[in-house]
Structure 1
Amino acid sequence: MLKFVTVDRDMPIKRDADDRKSDFHEIYAEYADTKAKEQAARCSQCGVPYCQTHCPLHNNIPDWLRLTATGRLQEAYELSQATNTFPEICGRICPQDRLCEGNCVIEQSGHGTVTIGSVEKYITDTAWEEGWVQAISPAVEREESVGIIGSGPGGLAAADRLRRAGLKVTVYERSDRAGGLMTYGIPGFKLEKEIVMRRVKQLEDGGVEFILNCEVGEDISFDAIRGKHDAVLIATGVYKSRDLAGPGSGAEGIVRAIDYLTASNKVSFGDTVEEYESGELNAAGKNVVVIGGGDTAMDCVRTAVRQGATSVKCLYRRDRANMPGSQRETQNAEEEGVEFVWLAAPKGFAGDPVSGVMVQKMRLGAPDASGRQSPEVIEGADYVEEADLVIKALGFSPEDLPQLWGTEGLEVTRWGTVMADFTTHATSLDGVYACGDIQRGASLVVWAIRDGREAADAMLEYIDQSTAIAAQ
């Protein structure tokens, strides 16, 4: 260990931009065993591991780095899996630059952070190849059952934990495949779909039942789900896209990011998507403008490049230093030919079908309530950005679940998220819990996994108490 003074930080090989932008495969190669050991050995094994502290799951990172460096890879996997239900997914899509790696002690001392995410990915990919990942096999089967609404990272993490405890688990999913945004929201160049599907299959093989194409409130009522199960978890995520007002905002050719990314991912599965075939959700040969600065915007611009767009521009109303998306993803997008237009906000749209975005130039003024500098309009600096396809990537809001499901007593916050305790995840309804984005608002996959695991533990305790009371 402690090789950071003699061994430099070295990421896995990244495919050349001209090569990778022609397909949807992941852009980073896998570590070789020797390289993974070498990079893991750079860990300083510091007394206060800030990497672990800043990981939402509090993964025991120093210990599984040490085990990897000393060749004890199966033990490293078991330690990683103990706190993280899907380490190979987090290793691929977590913004490590803002979490574990961004707070690495040796990074702060100028030696370059340990490549935690890449080692995490390597450990679990190796575990799958070696057969160390097994189907769930509870020590004791129980009669109680739980219903989980939504099969995103929070729902799947809870399903895994509850099934391991021996409960009967049924997952209700409105899409035709499980996985939520991991399946249809995140492009394959960040997370190849086979990675998600094999986890879904592991859960199925372990006894988790998935009911797909099931819209709660239409195909089955929420009350029916509550009546069928001993406890229920709401893990629907947030899918309502934030919209833009302004002249021409309803023009043809202005689309939502979720629709655009879902269509692209369905095509990657081999599905026939009418809106893609017609060109409505296909960037091929078009001048594309994406509005937004988060990770969803990065997914959209990089997808448009791979679909063969003539040009791809990203408009963001703040500067690069203040954008919410991953700096690593921004760099990848720039390498692939995306042009970022900083300090620019849409004022309206020209043409129908759309032919351009009316842009207001901005400057940063005083900080807002969150501490970020608020953008201010520069008068007289408007111009039109040419566009044949405009993608709105402005974030997501929760749907009105009480109204959609016809449910009384399910309390929501003023933002529309389900009101639930942030420790137990219990809602205002007895035996009903909530986790992930539908509770905390649009956030990271790793936070949803943490919420799902916590909610599962609280549900298990609730069921145990209810069973004990019934037995008296």
Structure 2
Amino acid sequence: MGKATGFIEYYREKVNERNPLKRLSDWKEYTLPYSDETLSRQGARCMDCATPFCHIGMEIQGATSGCPVHNLIPEWNDLVYRGRWREALDRLLKTNNFPEFTGRVCPAPCEGSCTLAITDPAVTIKNIEQAIIDKGFENGWITPRIPAARTGKKVAIIGSGPAGLAAADQLNQAGHVVTVFERSDRAGGLLMYGIPNMKLEKEVVERRIRLLTQEGINFVTNSEVGKDITTEELQAQFDAVILCTGAQKQRDLVIEGREAKGIHFAMEYLTKSTKSYLDSQFDDGQFIDTEGKDVIVIGGGDTGADCVATALRQNCRSVVQFGKHPVLPAVRTAENMWPASPNVFTMDYAYKEAEAMYGDDPRQYSIQTKKIVADEWGNLNELHTIQMEKLKDDQGRFYFKEIQGSEKVWPAQFVFIAIGFEGTEQSLLSQFGVKSNNQKIEAAKGEYKTNVEGVFAAGDARRGQSLIVWAINEGREVAHEVDFYLMGKSYLPK
């Protein structure tokens, strides 16, 4: 695929990003498009590797390797190299309902398992994917696909995140009447409110929602199932129900001083910021404002990085992100060999911005918060921490040990907790009578059936906190199962 000697002739080019300091003055996406010529060269780097691992879509060492929706990556890389963009779009859309989302915010496990990545920087798969779908919209190649006939079957989908949207798209094309219920005021789930504008501008999400609406999908926002409509009414009105409610129960920090004012969950901070921006460009004041404040983010993942980037744009006085693990190595270790996802040090967009603003990477490694101290009025004042050492016991199990003498006090007026999610909210499941295990809905992978007749589950609500691309994968697969349940057969891909 691509040019036979392309991987030898061309280097991987860096992501085209806006200047870190300049982009802090707005909330626009931080990346810029490549030229067609650059993309052609990058597509040419795709090797004729006989057995491409980039689309294996499996978990190795507990992390995703390859593309879970099994994108036909070598095929559309080759087509981009040859300038055949429309054909590349057709190949991309065969497996991925929403490349404009994954091309922007997916961590690209496909690149970690690229064959070229064994010895050289991987092919820029993610950037090429985004370029293909963006060119499709720009050229008017993407138009509403109206189903030729309707089956008369009605499906309700609860939750409009990537899993719910993918299931809705597939089932609508199969001819079913699909209604998506969303308790928020805008459709899109975490795509709308869980990911800040700098990574995914909301017009991109709204454009897809408009297209799905034109194709016949009904979106009911500001509607919480169990309150605004009962589960009994839902089951009476629809032939099947799919639960795509996500893993929205955030993991809390159990620590002395947790009740201090100024401590918030990361998703509350990000959601309010995005909503206020969309509603009024922040004029309504309905957001958590960190201007002139010392901010600490607890949790070393992507959500924490998004909090860092948001606080920087609000002109915080300082921002630090705590992580419990040591700094990652610059290159793969012997225990982390290809095609497993590379567990190596990287600089996310937020960290580049913090470094440009303050001169340092904002991350603190191997650190544990011991207690939180408030002032006499109950307002957050400072955090007390200690450094940790990661060790291995005689059975090869890792554990952390405190390093005495490494205690430190950090000033803070805001703390954002970003230590992950425990699972899906249980109240709705109880009303349906759906069983859960470890706060995840019990529904086998590949079948997606719950213990309640006609009720299915997919996405993070079923598998736990995961990647957007896994949510799309499960949305597509549950659509096949629901279609088969309704019709006794299905031509949707599985």
**Structure 1 match to 2:419:** 394
1:10 aligns with 2:16: no
1:296 aligns with 2:303: yes
Cα deviation, residue 147, structure 1: 0.2
Q: Structure 1: how far apart are the matches of 2:440 and 2:456?
A: 13
Q: Structure 2: how far apart are the matches of 1:71 and 1:408?
A: 51
Cα deviation, residue 332, structure 1: 3.4
Asked if 2 retains the 8 angstrom alpha-carbon contact of 1:136 and 1:163, the reply is no
- For each residue in 1:108-163, what CA deviation from the matched residue of structure 2 results, as whole angstroms up to 9, or x when unmatched? 122x2111000000000000011111113112222001000000000000000000
Asked if 2 retains the 8 angstrom alpha-carbon contact of 1:87 and 1:121, the reply is yes
**Structure 2 match to 1:407:** 431
Match of 1:379 among 404, 410, 433: 404
1:220 aligns with 2:229: yes
- Given the superposition, is the C-alpha separation of residues 85 and 336 from structure 1 closer, same or farther in structure 2, using an over 3 Å criterion? farther
Cα deviation, residue 396, structure 1: 1.4
Instruction: Give SS of 2:279's match.
Output: coil
Cα deviation, residue 324, structure 1: 8.3
1:68 aligns with 2:93: no
TM-align CA RMSD: 2.3
Q: Structure 2: how far apart are the matches of 1:176 and 1:335?
A: 35
- Given the superposition, is the C-alpha separation of residues 206 and 397 from structure 1 closer, same or farther in structure 2, using an over 3 Å criterion? same
Asked if 1 retains the 8 angstrom alpha-carbon contact of 2:249 and 2:425, the reply is no
**1:245-260 map, 5 Å:** 245-260=254-269
Q: Structure 2: how far apart are the matches of 1:417 and 1:146?
A: 22
Asked if 1 retains the 8 angstrom alpha-carbon contact of 2:293 and 2:318, the reply is yes
**Structure 1 match to 2:49:** 46
**Structure 1 match to 2:31:** 28
- For each residue in 1:262-321, what CA deviation from the matched residue of structure 2 results, as whole angstroms up to 9, or x when unmatched? 0111122134879x827x711111110000011111111111111111111001111121
Instruction: Give SS of 1:77's match.
Output: helix
- For each residue in 1:53-103, what CA deviation from the matched residue of structure 2 results, as whole angstroms up to 9, or x when unmatched? 11111111000000111111011011101100111210111112xx11111
Q: Structure 2: how far apart are the matches of 1:243 and 1:291?
A: 11
Instruction: Give SS of 1:407's match.
Output: helix
**Structure 2 match to 1:139:** 148
Asked if 2 retains the 8 angstrom alpha-carbon contact of 1:150 and 1:171, the reply is yes
Match of 1:128 among 132, 137, 143: 137
- Given the superposition, is the C-alpha separation of residues 298 and 393 from structure 1 closer, same or farther in structure 2, using an over 3 Å criterion? same
Q: Structure 2: how far apart are the matches of 1:183 and 1:109?
A: 38
- For each residue in 1:313-371, what CA deviation from the matched residue of structure 2 results, as whole angstroms up to 9, or x when unmatched? 001111121998983426535544451111111111111210111112111122799x8
Q: Structure 1: how far apart are the matches of 2:31 and 2:261?
A: 36
Structure 1 range deviating more: 160-169 or 3-12: 3-12
Q: Which amino acid aligns with 1:222?
A: T
1:362 aligns with 2:372: no
Instruction: Give SS of 1:269's match.
Output: helix
Cα deviation, residue 165, structure 1: 0.6
**Structure 2 match to 1:277:** 285
**Structure 2 match to 1:439:** 462
TM-score (structure 1 length as normaliser): 0.92
1:311 aligns with 2:333: no
Instruction: Give SS of 1:83's match.
Output: coil
**Structure 2 match to 1:196:** 205
Match of 1:19 among 19, 22, 29: 22
Instruction: Give SS of 1:169's match.
Output: strand
Cα deviation, residue 466, structure 1: 9.6
**1:320-331 map, 5 Å:** 320-321=327-328, 327-329=346-348, 331=351
Asked if 2 retains the 8 angstrom alpha-carbon contact of 1:294 and 1:326, the reply is no
Asked if 2 retains the 8 angstrom alpha-carbon contact of 1:173 and 1:213, the reply is yes
Asked if 2 retains the 8 angstrom alpha-carbon contact of 1:293 and 1:324, the reply is no
- Given the superposition, is the C-alpha separation of residues 427 and 325 from structure 1 closer, same or farther in structure 2, using an over 3 Å criterion? farther
Match of 2:451 among 418, 428, 431: 428
Larger fraction in helix = 1
Asked if 1 retains the 8 angstrom alpha-carbon contact of 2:312 and 2:354, the reply is no
Asked if 1 retains the 8 angstrom alpha-carbon contact of 2:386 and 2:406, the reply is yes
- For each residue in 1:218-274, what CA deviation from the matched residue of structure 2 results, as whole angstroms up to 9, or x when unmatched? 111122211111111000001111111222101100111011000111122134879
Cα deviation, residue 421, structure 1: 1.1
Instruction: Give SS of 1:250's match.
Output: coil
TM-score (structure 2 length as normaliser): 0.88
**1:95-106 map, 5 Å:** 95-96=107-108, 99-106=109-116
Asked if 2 retains the 8 angstrom alpha-carbon contact of 1:305 and 1:336, the reply is no
Q: Structure 1: how far apart are the matches of 2:244 and 2:394?
A: 31
- Given the superposition, is the C-alpha separation of residues 365 and 457 from structure 1 closer, same or farther in structure 2, using an over 3 Å criterion? same
Q: Structure 1: how far apart are the matches of 2:345 and 2:463?
A: 20
Gaps of 5+ in 2: 57-65, 330-341
- Given the superposition, is the C-alpha separation of residues 372 and 30 from structure 1 closer, same or farther in structure 2, using an over 3 Å criterion? farther
1:187 aligns with 2:213: no
Asked if 2 retains the 8 angstrom alpha-carbon contact of 1:412 and 1:418, the reply is yes
**Structure 2 match to 1:470:** none
